[in-house]
Amino acid sequence: MRFSFLFLFLPISFLLADVSRFIDSLDLPRAGSQIKVYTKSSAFISSRPASLRSYAEDTVISPSTITLSREILEQRLGESIAHRYQASGRVVAFLTREWTPIKVSSTYLIKISDCSPDQLCSSTFTRFSVWDRGNLVGDFAEPLRIGHFVDVFFSKSPLQRGARLNSNQFDKRPVDILKKHAGTVPANANLKGYQLASNVKSNTPIKWNFLSKVTLVKKGQIVDVFASGNGIYVTMKGMALEDGVSGGNVTVKNLSSKKEFQAKVLNENSVKVHL
């Protein structure tokens, strides 16, 4: 009975001896010492510089704040108006009265709700709103002056009335086509088939009323007539009964049947009609 008790006691003593090495390494606080408990809130913003923060800390990154000044607002309104009317070139807007700057984040938006008149013109009254991170900052209504700058043709040298035109005769310069340069020919226009209707000096912006279409088909001229439609394609001879310009319609008389019809001018010698 005594030996049995000893055998039961030995494993317990070995276990206690093995656990004691873990107990010795614990640094338990002394009785009566103050224990501090730290809590962290998601709204806490540390006063330390970001470079000294641990990557393990929770940080709140807010968008940078900017001042919506007069210059910035005019730039954004010009971009918004250009997008509204799908305008080519560059549209600039100028406020005609004082603007009080407002603070917004870098993610703000400008939404145009109305322009009067509802077309691209030199003066407009525009209603718009400013939004910041999904919140309405304010509704505004401002009179604006608008400039629409587009590259147009300027004559390199004096040109005579009746001269056929091509792009090599001109320079390209940006002008405001909503003011004194209204009606100026854009530099991307196709001048084929046009001629000057009046003399032009050098360094002159070319306007549409300076041009006229070249007469390709003259009255009494015999032309080739191409007729197609409904799977039928025929050619015949006809006589032009009036002058015709490129792309224009002209009255033609069939030489065989003497029937008159309208045809579209293709070039100096041919017209086309759809059956």
- The CATH number of the domain where 153 resides is what? 3.90.1210.10
Is residue 194 in some structural domain?
yes
Kindly tell me the sign of the dihedral angle through the C-alpha atoms of 37, 39, 44, 45.
positive
CB 75 within 8 A of CB 104: no
Q: What is the pLDDT of residue 179?
A: 85
The partner residues of 77 in beta bridges, in order of sequence, read: none
Pairing of strands 65-68, 109-116: unpaired
CA dist 136 and 102 (Å) reads: 13
Distance CA 92, CA 183 (A): 19
Q: Are 90 and 140 part of one and the same domain? A: yes
Domain contains 113: yes
CA distances from 174 to 5, 170, 191, 208 (A): 109, 13, 18, 17
Q: Are residues 140 and 153 in the same domain?
A: no
240 shares a domain with 199: no
> Does the residue 93 lie in any domain?
yes
110-116-120 Cα angle (round to 5)? 80
Compute and round to an integer the Cα radius of gyration of the chain. Answer: 42
From first to last of its 275 residues, the chain has per-residue pLDDT tens of 444 444 444 444 444 444 444 444 444 444 444 444 444 433 333 334 444 444 444 444 555 889 999 999 999 999 999 999 999 899 999 999 999 999 999 999 999 999 999 999 999 999 999 999 999 999 999 999 999 999 999 999 999 998 888 888 999 999 999 988 889 999 988 888 888 999 999 999 999 999 988 888 999 999 999 988 888 888 889 999 999 988 889 999 988 888 899 999 988 889 998 87
- My answer on whether 107 and 161 are in the same domain is no
Residue 126: other Cβ atoms inside 10 A: 21
pLDDT of 130: 96
pLDDT at position 238 is: 92
User: Would you say 257 and 247 are in contact if contact means Cβ atoms under 8 Å apart?
Assistant: no
pTM, full prediction: 0.60
Which range of residues forms the domain containing residue 236? 215-274
- pLDDT reported for residue 62: 52
Q: How many domains are contained in the chain?
A: 3
- Asked if the structure places residue 14 within a domain, the reply is no
Residue 45 has phi, psi (to 5 degrees) of -115, 115
What CA dihedral angle connects 134, 135, 137 and 141, to 10 degrees? 70
